[in-house]
Copies of this chain bind each other. A is one copy, B any other.
């Protein structure tokens, strides 16, 4: 698959990953427009690339993103920030743009400086061979423990939206980051771009929650080149972004580290969307429930106990809960026989009816397995 018009990129194995796999990529938006928006981690402790990219975003234009795996450049102090700055300057010089137009994203182990000689050599090498057909390489270069690249593309009215992403939430080792770049050749109205993109990210990427941990490096960037010449309305923009980002989010949770089950938690009839999200998230983060799902144990009491910890308004004595289409709890008491529930498949659906309003939301998560513990127990050593 190729990039949308107005974008080109390249990727190399710069030597940051010990495996020798692709680990550095540069994506360029050569215009004519450089409209952009971005969403970042809510963690107070952020990596140098996040600090940098937040800062340049105030300039209102991103013409290039450089992304590396093999090192998060988080908790690396002033030297880490200087390294990010130098990375952006090197890309800028090679592309003939300003460093304040170069976003930087990193992912990998926290607390170690990047090998800058490898980074800089890699950047020089990539910039000599940018091409429009390197989408797959870019998607691969940002992978850490992902087992496959994540790409989603959608055409609308003659314009194309394409996104790449890595690392489902915080489920990978050492808080491997969720990074994503979404590109379009549509001409977009900049007025509501950030607002729309924030809303889309809240309803897609922010509704997957594999282990409740929040990374230091999360970054999602939207870039619009305008090179298709197609003007797109705000509503079409939002709808198309919902589809592309929704697909990437689904791919991320579907490749969650150590998962054996993919779990959707749909909360209906909540008093507000925030309440629905809070209830879904409380379940998605409950280790006892996640262990039960791993074991194929229809222990619905754990769902009730989990949703009871949410900061949301509902009557705790009147909640209905279905587990894979069996209503195991009616009005917070026993419902149909729990032994009727078949949890043998990969996909598990939990439906929670709060009977408190008209709002709903779905949170996606996975189970807590032996493999999750194994893969996260000895990463830095």
Q: Would A76 and B299 count as touching, CB distance under 8 A?
A: no
The CA-CA distance from A329 to B378 in the complex, in Å, is 19
A72 to B288, CA, bound (A): 16
B residues within 8 A CB of A265? none
A188 at the A/B interface (Cβ < 8 Å)? no
Whether the pair A287, B288 counts as a contact (CB closer than 8 A) is no
Do most interface residues of chain A lie in helix, strand or loop, or is the interface mixed? Answer: loop
A182 part of interface (Cβ distance < 8 Å): no
Pairwise interchain contact A214-B309, C-beta atoms closer than 8 A: yes
A216 CA / B299 CA spacing, docked (Å)? 14
A381 within 8 A of B: yes
CB-based contact A376/B287 at 8 Å: yes
CA distance A112 to B338 in the complex (A): 11
A174 touches B299 (CB 8 A): yes
Contact with B along A201-216 (1 / 0, CB 8 A): 0000000000111111
A302–B111 Cα distance when bound, in Å, is 9
Closest to A309 in B: B214
A373-B373 contact, Cβ under 8 Å, with A301-B75, A308-B44? yes
* Interface presence of A364 (CB below 8 A): no
Q: Does A295 contact B (CB under 8 A)?
A: yes
Report whether A338 and B380 are in contact in the complex, using a CB–CB cutoff of 8 Å.
yes
Give the 4 A-B CB pairs with smallest separation, nearest first: A110-B301, A295-B377, A45-B308, A77-B333
**A interface with B by C-beta (< 8 Å):** 42-46, 72, 74-80, 109-113, 170, 173-175, 211-216, 285-288, 291-292, 294-302, 304-310, 314, 316, 319, 328-329, 331-334, 338, 368-370, 372-374, 376-381
Q: List 15 A-B contacts (CB under 8 A).
A: A43-B305, A44-B308, A77-B331, A110-B299, A174-B288, A213-B305, A216-B304, A216-B305, A287-B368, A287-B372, A295-B376, A295-B377, A298-B381, A369-B373, A373-B373
